[in-house]
Amino acid sequence: MQMAFAMLLFVTSTMAAFGQAVSEQPFTVSISTEKSTFKSGDPIPVKVELTNTSNKDLNVSSEVDLNSGVLFTHSFEVHNETGKLVPPRIHTHQQSQTGSAPAKPEENPTGPETGRVIFGVLKPGEKYSVVDDISRVYDLSESGRYTIQMAHPLPDKSSKDGVKSNVVTITVTQ
């Protein structure tokens, strides 16, 4: 009887500790795409939604990368169908100086303007969303399946990985 009670206490405390660890994250991150198949060379818009799950205001200010138009706080990981990490595009020094990007800004009308600092605070329970064209950051021109996941840093930088999103799978065709 004592052994059963001890096991029940252990399981309950483990579940409570796990639940507490999950609830300590001040926000959640979710990503999605409007479709799952894209033509090679077309923009690949990924909607990023961040929800403040804490009881405090959350600073979500960020700077926009001049080359890609993607927020610096949005750290994407893209893997091809063999599981290999797809490296980010490398922009030339001239592109960095001129602020030119691989795609025209007007092709991403829902994204933020490039070269700006975005300021914002989310109240408890509030959410914001933005669309990032990840084809401007990663070369996804080869046909195949890709998985995408995003991480957003914690405000106090207590974890180098930040808070990770769900994983989205897309297919690129010719």
pLDDT per residue as tens digits for the range 9-68: 444 444 444 443 444 789 899 999 999 999 999 999 999 998 999 999 988 777 666 666
Domain annotation covers residue 41: yes
Residue 51 belongs to a domain:
yes
**4 domain-assigned:** no
CA distance 143 to 173: 5
Residue 17 lies in a domain: no
Looking up residue 78, the CATH number of its domain turns out to be 2.60.40.2970
Query: Judging by DSSP bridges, how do beta strands 168-173 and 37-39 pair with one another?
Result: parallel
pLDDT (tens digit, 9 = 90+) per residue, 110-158? 444 455 566 678 899 999 888 889 998 899 999 999 999 998 888 776 6
What pLDDT, on a 0 to 100 scale, did the predictor assign at position 63?
A: 67
HEC string of 73-96?
A: CCEEEEEECCCCECCECCCCHHHH
Strand-pairing partners, residue 133, are: 45
pLDDT for the residue 144: 96
10 lies in some domain = no
> Which range of residues forms the domain containing residue 48?
26-173
Query: What is the pLDDT, as a whole number, of residue 65?
Result: 66
How many domains, in total, are found in the chain?
1
Q: Is residue 15 part of a domain?
A: no
21 found inside a domain: no
The model's pTM is 0.69
Within a domain: residue 64?
A: yes
